[in-house]
Amino acid sequence: MSLSPFRREEGPHGPSFSGPAGSPLRVVVTGGAGFIGSHLCQRLLDGGGTVWAVDNFDPFYDPAIKRAAVRELEASPRFRLVEADVCDEAATAHALEAAGLGPGGADVLIHLAARAGVRPSIEDPAGYARFNVQGTAATLELSRRLAIPAYVFGSSSSVYGNEARVPFREDAPAASPISPYAATKRAGELLCHAHHHLYGTSVVCLRFFTVYGPRQRPDLAIHKFARLMAAGEAIPLFGDGSTARDYTFVDDIVHGVEAAARFALARPGAWEILNLGGSQTVTLARLVELLAGEMGIDPAVRRLPAQPGDVERTWADIGRAGELLGYAPGTSIEAGIAAFVRWFRDSSARSPRSAP
């Protein structure tokens, strides 16, 4: 039986699931100014929650994009922006305390702060280890220091590597990551398990599958392709276009994250690893076709060799998340791409810097 059932409704992008109902949550969201984090903060605030968003505005991509997202959130009196580097646990704790959060003052810590991206991780494996492994260890200790009873970790489908069996199930070994980024995310999951074992904290690790949508990071494929198409430039296509991804619209992801937070809080001592995906695969060639069609552009394509570290395909088995969380993504790739293009055009018209 689902603990936090989703409600099916008609949303702006077609049928969707509104997510779990319940009392307002008091949440620390690391990476709260980022793509997924800012959407999650908005959802929690819309539900009456109180949010402490921790972010260091790392220049991995233009911090002005994240600043713009935060300005929308700061309209709520229940939102607190905490500028801190989560790798420094003591400094982050001090900053949170200065923002009014004392021991026992939050229900859940949702750790989304990370250095993302497979290809950049190959160039800077040590930096990824610091941000993603040390950062996870520090936030786990932060949750213990502040007596936060539940912890949700944003992991990645990349931990599966080139797993032969599809769709990917959580009981797969996930023992052969093929990029430093994937290895750091698997290491984060193992740190979460050790913390849960030692201290009994309720922990849910969520393996995200290729999240996209409005405010997507500019370095990710859909945003990058849209920008190049709009500028009349050729898009780089790595490989023959047959690699496939389980693209997941950001609204569906944040619904799942909120459900996981409520599940962790309601089940003291819980330990789970769960997939959050769209449970549909789309090839790279089909993605380009959909995006170009929505933008009304005949794109130029620059063919390049397949990249080291890129997996051949991802595909989420979401049965376990459906059973425990009531998770049921409702946004098709067609509706999601249409929503992204509307945002891209609107943000480009308002400010060229918002769609770099």
Catalytic residue numbers, as ranges: 181
| 3-class secondary-structure state, position 51 | strand
Cis peptide before 167 (omega within 30 of 0): yes
**89-98 and 135-145 helices cross at what angle (nearest 10)?**
50
Tokens of 150: 């539940």
Question: At 21, is the secondary structure helix, strand, or coil?
Answer: coil
Pairing mode of beta strands 244-245, 108-111 = unpaired
Provide φ and ψ at 282, rounded to 5°. Answer: -135, 130
For the CA atoms of 284, 289, 290, 291, what is the dihedral angle to 10 degrees? 90
CA separation for the pair 155, 275 (Å, rounded): 9
Show the tokens assigned to 248. 């997941």
d(CA 325, CA 16): 15
The pairing of strands 79-83 and 50-55 is parallel
- In the chain, the largest separation of any two C-alpha atoms, in whole Å, equals 56
Ramachandran class of 337: left when φ > 0, alpha when ψ lies in -120 to 50, beta otherwise: alpha
